[in-house]
Structure 1
Amino acid sequence: MIMDVPSHAKPKPHARHSAKDLTRRTARRFLLAGFAVVLFVVSGVGIAYHDLQSQVNTIDINDLLDDNRDTRQVADSYEGQAVNILILGTDSRAGANNVDGSEGSEEVAVARSDTAMILHLPADRSRIELVSIPRDLLVDIPACKTADGGSTEPMSYTAFNTAFANGAGASADDDAVAAGVACTLATVEELTGLYIDEYLVVDFNGLITTVDALGGVNLYVDEDINDTEYTKLVLESGCQHLDGATALQYARVRHGVGDGSDRQRMPRQQNLVAAMLRTAKSKNYLTDADALYSFARAALGSLTASPGFGSLTNLAGLALSIGDVGMDQVTLITMPNEEAPWDRNRALPTDEADAVWAAMKADTPISEALSDTAAQEPTDSSADATSPDAAQDDQATQPSSSSDQSGTTANETTPTADATPEDPAAQCY
């Protein structure tokens, strides 16, 4: 006899899909957890990106430039294109830049471009070239729009750093800086025939902050410096480690070393730039995200840049594109010039300068152009000692080498100096 088993007493069969449900639930949890991690990382990167981007102070000078100025289309990060970047160091003493207590004095009432360099990156990114323009170079300055809405008259045989002052006037706000940069950029383009793609402005505080963000720099000082009266800088020759404040003193010093001229100060500024490049390359920022972020946040917050150069994507792209360029492919020179016959503190361009600008415009190495120009120079030792060639300052006409402490490729402009001497700065790293 078959007895009926109460339904509540029958064992409930296991559902055949329960294992699958468990797997699905587990997978779902992992998926949600993974999504949360990804969202956290992406959010963190996004926040970091916007934080860094917000540090950059950008100024747009297009409205201050000549309406007839040429423009050119560029790819993202200038990939596959040569790029010319105007780097200006201003001597404003406003706010945090009042490093010597002279803010408000007549001597520094008007900001000027204390340092001017053109950074050229070739289309193939095989080298880095940096050309300094003497601040006391006599040039033609075009008519410029000023920060207050006015305009200036064109000027001839005027010191180069007057261009920035013409635009900026006596103010130090962003409008004044924009007008100063615009007038300087127009002057540079007229002087060189180059098209300037981007610009970067570094003031005293910006240099201090950037060097400190690098942890200081090591550089080679080729002669003792004893300037106890002006910059207060005292350094012995040899390898030295400089923090930001001392680096600024080194970049500015002109007394207690050499002949006290501004033209001899430029090789020291190039030496400092080379030291900063070496230090940045030694940091391995690409493999240390925390160090990169800390450096970028500090450095970007101290600079003023063009909108294109101030874009993190463009800036990162340019930085990555030259990451493999060795120091032996870095050339830093002072624009070839000679002392003005009537004033040793004023300079005039030479024919070699034309060769430099032509090479940069053609995107060919400037070292080759200078070598070719030197090879064509007469070698008659009986040449008049008062000729421009004889009077020309060696440090103003030769690419930076161990003699001018720049720590860069030494492509001399004279036929007899075709060997590359050992870089003395290398021993400091």
Structure 2
Amino acid sequence: MAVPSHAKPKPHARHSAKDLTRRTVRRFLLAGLAVVLFVVSGVGIAYHDLQSQVNTIDINDLLDDDRGTRQVADSYEGQAVNILIIGTDSRAGANNVDGSEGSEEVAVARSDTAMILHLPADRSRIELVSIPRDLLVDIPSCKTADGGTTAAMSYTPFNTAFANGAGASADDDAIAAGVACTIATVEDLTGLYIDEYLVVDFNGLITTVDALGGVNLYVDEDINDTEYTKLVMSSGCQHLDGATALQYARVRHGVGDGSDRQRMPRQQNLVAAMLRTAKSKNYLTDADALYSFARAALGSLTASPGLGSLTTLAGLAMSVGDVGMDQVTLITMPNEEAPWDLNRALPTDEADAVWAAMQADTPITEALNDTASQEATDTSSDAGSTETAQDDQPTQSGAESDQTGAATDEHTPTADATTEDPAAQCY
């Protein structure tokens, strides 16, 4: 009996096992490709997300054509880098922290703080030098935001440089011109080449500290400023959120002698606490942690195009991730009161030693120690000469000795090259 054709078993297709294997391999390859594309697109989206937040301003057209340029490797790898950090005190927009936005005096872009961050080529240390805003300096002719130029000035407060460039506005053009004039002034003052800049306004500081989750720092004396910043704080270990950190950085009434120069050690204390916090949370060594922090903080900062590049920023951050706090130096540039105006300051010889060390990429603490040792030797030699000359005039020795001591005290550097972070005891 014949078997119906439809009931006959169908023959197996040739090479079916090989085809199945090929299909399986293709599926795995497609799945792998999908994962790769997902990861790459995710990274690309994340990169674009962060990069789009950074407000970068190119100021090269506002700088002197004779300034020159430097060849830069990726992320400054193997190269020393100098970054100028400028704090501005405009109250416009989100910076209106004290309700004074309507005042013409505070609505424009003005420089309130300036620090030079030096990272050596071998990334063995971190150095930060504050420049007093009332330091009397020479300010070169600068291009302004409206296309004009300013006249060069001598013996003028340092923060005038930013004001000269910025003029009467607070927009990006004003900030660009203010930064350019400040960089030109800093380079004239120090002999350094400023590679990058970062502008931090009031809102930027608040946002950055909050992105860190707040900071712990040690307050060395009670603060009672109920009239201006409204900051009232007891000495000892304190945890500061962004708003309180801004008050701490700005306060000068109700603490110390009320001078602006006394704010700089507090600002350095805050910077040290921020750095310690970033290190403790692995923001300088872990890419995911760094991304999380950058996502929260970058939108509030203004940076040079080089520093605004996330690859450069991440490269610099991670290159100093292993630097211990004992290798962090925070000082105010050595200065002394101007004899004719106690509210103004003048650079001292020790300042020249600091700038020379940074130019040579050698530790500034060593330069200050060498200068102090030389001064001690010179003082000892002068004292010996005085004693020799006084052998025949013993009745004058007391008065002349007192004068020598007074002269020594008068020229003692105001910079204290300490590397110990007071906030260490608060962790």
Q: TM-score, normalised by structure 2?
A: 0.90
Contact 1:209 1:298 in 2 (8 A): yes
Q: Name the counterpart of 1:113.
A: 111
Which residue matches 1:325? 323
Q: Unaligned stretches of 5+ in structure 1?
A: 402-408, 411-422
- Tell me how far apart the structure 2 counterparts of residues 76 and 336 of structure 1 sit (CA, whole Å): 33
SS at match of 1:116: strand
Aligned letter for 1:273?
V
**2:415 corresponding residue in structure 1:** 397
Moved more, 104-113 or 162-171: 104-113
Q: Which residue of 2 aligns with 1:420?
A: none
> What residue number does 1:64 align with?
62
- Name the amino acid aligned to 1:275: A
Match of 2:390 in 1: none
| 2:225 alignment counterpart | 227
Percent identity, please: 89
Paired residues in the alignment total 405
Of 352-361 and 315-324, more deviation after overlay is shown by 315-324
Q: Whole-Å Cα distance in 1 between the matches of residues 260 and 9 of structure 2?
A: 99
Q: 1:86 to 1:382 in 2, by over 3 A?
A: same
The 1:167–1:393 alpha-carbon spacing in structure 2 relative to 1, beyond 3 Å, is farther
Q: How far apart in 1 are the matches of 2:284 and 2:130?
A: 29
User: Which of 240, 243, 255 is the equivalent residue of 1:242?
Assistant: 240
Match of 1:144 among 130, 142, 145: 142
Q: How far 1:94 sits from its partner (Å)?
A: 0.9
How big is each residue's C-alpha offset from its partner over 1:81-132, in whole Å with a ceiling of 9 and x where there is no partner?
1000000001111111111122232442543210000000000011000000
Return the alpha-carbon distance in structure 2 between the equivalents of residues 289 and 212 of structure 1: 19
Structure 1 residues 2-31: Cα deviation after superposition (integer angstroms, max 9, x where no partner) = x99887665444345212222221222222
AA at the equivalent of 1:390: D
Specify which structure has the higher proportion of helix. 2
> What is residue 414 of structure 1 aligned with on the other side?
none
Letter in 1 for 2:327: Q
Q: Distance in 1 between matches of 2:363 and 2:161?
A: 28
Q: Distance in 2 between matches of 1:169 and 1:45?
A: 41
Q: Is the 8 A contact 2:136 2:156 kept in 1?
A: yes
Give runs of aligned pairs for residues 17-416 of structure 1, distance below 5 A.
17-285=15-283, 291-377=289-375, 378-379=379-380, 382-384=402-404, 387=407, 389-391=408-410, 396-399=414-417, 401=418, 409=419
Q: Which amino acid aligns with 1:172?
A: A
Compute the displacement of 1:278 (Å).
Answer: 0.5
Q: Gaps spanning 5+ residues in structure 2: where?
A: 384-400
Instruction: Tell which deviates more after alignment, 44-53 or 13-22.
Output: 13-22
Checking the alignment, whether the CA contact within 8 Å between 1:207 and 1:248 is kept in structure 2 is: yes
- Once residues 392 and 425 of structure 1 are traced to their aligned partners in structure 2, the CA distance between those partners, rounded to angstroms, is 30
Q: Which deviates the most, 107-116 or 187-196? A: 107-116
RMSD: 1.9
Code of the aligned partner of 1:111: A
SS of the residue aligned with 1:55? coil
TM-score (norm 1): 0.90
In 1, are the aligned partners of 2:278 and 2:284 still within 8 Å (CA)?
Answer: no
Secondary structure, counterpart of 1:376 in structure 2 = helix
Q: Pairwise mapping of residues 410-425 of structure 1 onto structure 2 (< 5 A)? A: 423-425=421-423
Aligned to 2:397: none
| SS in structure 1 of the partner of residue 308 of structure 2 | coil
2: CA distance between counterparts of 1:11 and 1:192? 93
- Residue range with higher mean Cα deviation, 370-379 or 327-336: 370-379
Give the whole-Å Cα distance in 1 for the aligned partners of 2:289 and 2:69.
Answer: 37
SS in 1 for 2:67: coil
CA contact (8 A) 2:269 2:422 kept: no
1:118/1:130 contact within 8 Å kept: yes
Query: Which amino acid letter does the alignment assign opposite residue 207 of structure 1?
Result: L
Question: Is contact 2:284–2:321 with CA below 8 Å preserved after alignment?
Answer: no
